[in-house]
Homo-oligomer: A and B are copies of this chain.
């Protein structure tokens, strides 16, 4: 696909906020049911005060073993990870955890629809890259190649998503194009 200038000024929204808004739009219009998974927490200590609700007093963040978002669209399983970078030219692969890559591999093996949504925060350009391409770039790194995906490569192998008002990031339109 070709690189276009879709952004309309910094709106101060994070990628996660934009995606949550888009998912709410899909849900309200019965288009898809896609949610962000809760952050996995290791709970160590919980207080149960009388007459009030339980308070977690000690807990730790766990490394997520899957991607951030999943759900259903036209009966199909949808699974994606969202990443934002301040770099202007590439997305570093260190942004992905090893077990997230493994999860993407497993989802593809079971015929799920797997992709990543990448945002360049300085320009607000947003790209969708299918999981099968991410796995190829990951393999290139493991074979001693570059440790990032160039924006040019996202233009070539991925799909730029125009920013909208409602939904803000209409990534399912890209999925329709790919799986048509």
Interface positions of A (Cβ within 8 A of B): 27, 30-33, 35, 37-41, 53-61, 65-66, 70-79, 103, 106-107, 109-112
B30 and A106: CB pair below 8 A?
yes
Please tell me how many copies of the chain the complex holds.
2
Least CB distance, A42 to chain B, in whole angstroms: 9
Which residue of B33, B38, B61, B79 is within 8 Å of A106 (Cβ)?
A: B33
List of B residues within 8 angstroms of A75 by Cβ: 76-77, 110-112
A106 to B109, CA, bound (A): 26
- Is there contact, CB below 8 Å, between B41 and A59? yes
With CB as the reference atom, state the residue of chain B lying closest to A61. B54
For A41, give its contact among B27, B38, B111 (CB under 8 Å): B38
Bound Cα distance A58, B45 (Å): 10
Give which listed residue, B55, B72, B76, B78, contacts A58 with CB less than 8 A. Answer: B55
